[in-house]
Amino acid sequence: MSTTPLLAVENVSKRFNGFVALEGISATFGGNRVTAVIGPNGAGKSTFFNVLSGAIRPSTGRILFEGRDLTAVPQHEFAHYGIARSYQITTIFPQLSVHENVRVSGQAFRSRYNIWCNRDLDRALIDKADAALLAVGLHGKRDRIAKFLSHGEQRALEIAIALVADPKLLLLDEPTAGMGPEETRDMVALIERLAAARTILLVEHKMKMILGLSDRVLVLHHGRLIADGTPAEIQSDSEVRRIYLGQSHGAA
């Protein structure tokens, strides 16, 4: 039995001109599980995802993916290894169709790693984009111009864009940001479906959603990992309770 975790984070710190955004983070991740990363604004959650997706390099520490050290690997290679992400702010091409949005992402991935034989390239790319849209429930809107989708649909499209590289690890930064209860329910159902086949880490502020959806919760505070446990353990953790006491998003 292999004991190598999908992702191992070893003593990762990140400083911006002396400001400590992350400090000594260590954790391992793997399996078809949903792990939530929570913490107050500015805690370092997005910075953590930026490090895990290769967008920024840690000041110290290492990122191991299936045992390989990715710490110095360029960001564009992360998708090749099997790590993809969505962003806190919606990041799509508004003027392109839904299907084109996913295809452009697949194209960027493909041009560096020519994994399909030439004559089948376009067909394979189209099929991959269609499969990603099916997975997020947007296939019926594949020819719509992206800017005309609802906010919730645009967030789902971003996930389809991330899925086209068929990631083993999917990082979702506030996938329900700006959503009402109905759109949030749809997104939770989507994340549950996606978690059946991959490891998911998500940053979220909506506490009820986190507790219902996650197998595990990490709590960041001032760049430090102050708790790592099941939702029940996190709810009864006195330091976590103290941090969240009186915070408006804590009860959402």
Ligand X SMILES: Nc1ncnc2c1ncn2[C@@H]1O[C@H](COP(=O)(O)OP(=O)(O)OP(=O)(O)O)[C@@H](O)[C@H]1O
What is the Cα–Cα distance from 190 to 207, expressed in whole angstroms?
Answer: 18
Within residues 144-183, the interface with Mg ion by CB under 5 A covers none
**CB closer to ligand X, 142 vs 173:** 173
**CB closer to Mg ion, 133 vs 225:** 225
CB of 162 to ligand X, least distance (A): 18
Report helix angle 121-136 to 151-163, nearest 10. 140
Q: What would you measure as the largest C-alpha separation in the chain, in angstroms?
A: 60
Q: Which two tokens stand for residue 146?
A: 């992206």
Indicate the DSSP class of residue 97.
B
Residue 85 interaction partner, one of ligand X, Mg ion, none, beta carbon < 5-8 Å per kind: none
Nearest residue to Mg ion, scored by beta-carbon proximity: 46
Long-range CB pairs of 135-139 (<8 Å, 24+ gap) are 135/160, 135/163, 135/193, 135/194, 136/160, 136/163, 136/190, 137/186, 137/190, 138/98
For ligand X, the binding residues (CB under 6 A) are 16, 19, 21, 39, 41-47, 88
For residue 193, the tally of other CB atoms under 10 A from its CB is 12
What is the Cα–Cα distance from 78 to 52, expressed in whole angstroms?
Answer: 9
**CB closer to Mg ion, 3 vs 248:** 248
CB of 46 to Mg ion, least distance (A): 3
CA atoms within 13 Å, Cβ hemisphere of 189: 10
Within residues 27-86, the interface with Mg ion by CB under 5 A covers 45-46
**CB closer to ligand X, 138 vs 170:** 170
CB of 48 to ligand X, least distance (A): 7
**CB closer to ligand X, 1 vs 19:** 19
CB of 237 to ligand X, least distance (A): 18
CB of 249 to ligand X, least distance (A): 9
- Give me the residues that bind Mg ion (CB under 5 A), please: 45-46, 88
